[in-house]
A and B are shown apart, each in its own frame.
Chain A
Amino acid sequence: MNGLLHVLEFAVPLVEAAGITIIVSIGAFFVAVTMGLGLASLRHFYTTPVIRWPIQAYVELFRNIPSLTHLFILFYGLAYLGLRLGSITAAILGLGLIGAASLSETFRAGFESLHHGQREAALAVGMSPFIAFREVILPQTWRITLPPIGNYAVQLIKDTSLVAAIAAPEIMFTARNLVVNTFETTLVYTLAAVIYLALCLPLSRTVRYLETRAATPR
């Protein structure tokens, strides 16, 4: 009984911190999906180098530099320029911007996977390019892009742990603080791992289900 109380004493603050993890994940996911879809559609509609090159540069820069570096630039670098972001804001913005780069590639692959006849047929029956995109292209790409987006969501929840480095009070940061006060390293970090497991495992199971469903031909 005493042991259980002992565990609860650590579990309660960690579960509270999981709330911050979830907020950061949802915020970053929202930023990443809207911005990724926006970038991919821009590239889909405008093939001029003026549009394509900056987007390509953005994607390459964000995919080939560690997340931690981006977070440090956003948090410490912008503060140096006089723009002081809160740690949670910086976390959502940073992870969102990184996610947008990889999701824009996912969406692009989705658009390119469709036969070009789909778009041509839609234009031939008199749809405007935008309507064709919204009513014909996009609904069909969801089937292909949904599993990678789900995988991204799982990865994102895990990546929020990096935000501890810029002092956002999420699970790993709270765990670190608990350890500093109590020295119960093994117990606290195991609890933290268990919480992540509880967050990620159901989600990745759902993704696997979506994947098998997407793999079966309609």
Chain B
Amino acid sequence: MIEFINTLWSNAPEWLSRLRPALWLTLLLTLSSFALAIGIAILLELGRVSRWTALRKAVAAYIDLFRSVPILAVLYLIYFGLPGLGISFSAFTSGTLGLGIVYSTYIAEILRAGVQSLHRGQSEAALAVGMTPISTFRWIILPQALRVVTPPLLVALISLLKDTSICALIAVNELMLTSKLIMSEFFLPLHIFVLVGLIYFAIAWPMSLFVRWLEPRLHRGRRLATVAAGTARQKRPSITSPSNVLAPRRPRPFPAP
């Protein structure tokens, strides 16, 4: 054990200096694919409520398809399969596309739960008092939906961070692939992979703790929601603030990573 720590300690500076660019690439990949996933998810959500049946069916098929196929298969199809049809992307772009496409299905589900959690009366009331549809969305729908949507979105982001490691298999030079190269150079697999595991943990764990800290705070003051969450303190709902009565339904939890 002491020997293990000594070896790790003496090698860590060199390894870390090589892992640093890989870490930036991992973070960049996480953020770019998350942005892409949110973009696609918004389009999916708009398609889902469309009045054209064909579009709704297409969205449902897209979600079924990319929820049933592993990320690795999607990445291989994009990176190795598409060049056969004459379209080729760099490894990083393929990784962003693959992760973005797969995660858009999860995020679409989260967004749907967020929109459905609001009672229809909210927007009807806003329109009835003369707000325009845009300001209704900006001032009534969005602030309430964000409360519901933020925690599961952060959970999805953590999950996405972990899944960027899969891109090592299509030769994106991120943390996992770099550590594997270091392994084949130093022949110290246990040390390097424990080190990389700790790096991932150092990013993902604080985020998990933050979500756990944030979630009850977002639901504070919403009577039914706190009761549903099992916390004991009950506040008397005030008649003047309807948001206390119309508590959001909690979205379906993100499937276990």
**Do these two chains interact?**
yes
**Residues of chain A at the chain B interface (Cβ within 8 Å):** 60-61, 63-70, 72-73, 76-81, 99, 102-103, 105-106, 112-113, 148, 151-152, 154-155, 157-162, 164-165, 172, 175-176, 179, 184-187, 189-190, 192-193, 196-197, 199-201, 204
A-B contact pairs, 8 of them (CB 8 A): A69-B193, A70-B197, A72-B189, A76-B190, A155-B257, A189-B77, A200-B68, A200-B69
A172 and B70 form a contact (CB under 8 A)? yes
C-alpha spacing A126/B131, complex, angstroms = 62
Known: A196-B69, A200-B68. 19 other contacts (CB 8 A): A66-B176, A67-B165, A68-B176, A72-B180, A72-B189, A73-B190, A77-B190, A77-B194, A148-B256, A151-B256, A158-B71, A162-B70, A175-B76, A184-B84, A186-B84, A193-B74, A196-B68, A197-B69, A204-B64
A179 and B77 form a contact (CB under 8 A)? no
Residues of A within 8 A of B179 (CB): 72
- Return the CB mask of B4-21 against A: 1 if under 8 Å, else 0: 000000000000000000
C-alpha spacing A51/B214, complex, angstroms = 27
B227 at the interface (CB under 8 A from A): no
C-alpha spacing A103/B255, complex, angstroms = 11
Total A-B pairs in contact (CB under 8 Å)?
148
Residues of B within 8 A of A76 (CB): 183, 189-190, 193
B193 and A185 form a contact (CB under 8 A)? no
Out of A65, A68, A81, name the residue touching B168 (CB < 8 Å): A68
**Residues of chain B at the chain A interface (Cβ within 8 Å):** 64-65, 67-74, 76-77, 80-85, 158, 162-166, 168-169, 176, 179-180, 183, 187-190, 193-194, 196-197, 200-201, 204-205, 208, 230, 253, 255-257
Residues of A within 8 A of B164 (CB): 66
Q: Report which residue of B71, B164, B256 has the largest number of chain A beta carbons within 10 angstroms of its beta carbon.
A: B256
Q: How far is the CB of B181 from chain A (nearest CB, A)?
A: 13
B208 and A60 form a contact (CB under 8 A)? yes
Q: Is the interface of A mostly helix, strand, loop or mixed?
A: helix
Tell me the nearest residue of chain B to A101, going by C-beta.
Answer: B256
B76 and A189 form a contact (CB under 8 A)? yes
Q: A80-B188, A185-B81, A204-B67 are in contact. Are A66 and B72 (CB under 8 A)?
A: no
Q: How far is the CB of B17 from chain A (nearest CB, A)?
A: 20
Residues of B within 8 A of A158 (CB): 68-71
A193 and B69 form a contact (CB under 8 A)? yes
Q: How far is the CB of A111 from chain B (nearest CB, A)?
A: 12
